[in-house]
Amino acid sequence: MPRVERSIVIQGSAEAVNAVTLDGGRLPEWYAGIEQARPDGRYPEPGGAVEAVYKAAGLSFTLKMTSLELVRGEYGLFRLDGMITGTNRWTYTPEGDGTRVTAVFEYEMPGGALGAVANRLVVERMNTQNLEKSLEALKRLVEGA
């Protein structure tokens, strides 16, 4: 299963970071590729979900992100369902005057051997770039830059 992991230090508390990351309606503001997001009434609490429209490689598709576990200020674990399935885990660790935010995205590609080749050639790089862009955008939002 492909895995992408990135982290960034944000000058702000874990609560300030969570104010952005756990607001499902704000995903298009900072998560690269998400064009629309509609949280249900329970999100981000476990069992709640966000329906999102994600655009990648010129294609738009619907993605559902369901909260599996949440300890505010420490971590959140979310299941992704749609064209790509997998999990997304976000952890928040105090570091100096800020918070180290680490995101781990593990996913499965459809299409068997062809999907694996597409992942190696295009998808993994795109997922890595989108995660890096997302963390940078999150940092700007939280720090007010």
pLDDT tens for 119-135 read 454 556 777 888 999 99
The top-level CATH class assigned to 3-143 is alpha beta
Count, residues in the chain: 145
pLDDT classification of 57: cutoffs 50, 70, 90: low
**For residue 96, pLDDT beyond 50:** yes
**For residue 42, pLDDT beyond 60:** yes
pLDDT tens for 17-27 read 999 999 999 99
Proportion of the chain above pLDDT 90, given as a percent: 67
Domain boundaries, the chain: 3-143
Listed in sequence order, the residues at least 6 apart from 3 whose beta carbon sits closer than 8 Å to its beta carbon are 104, 105, 106
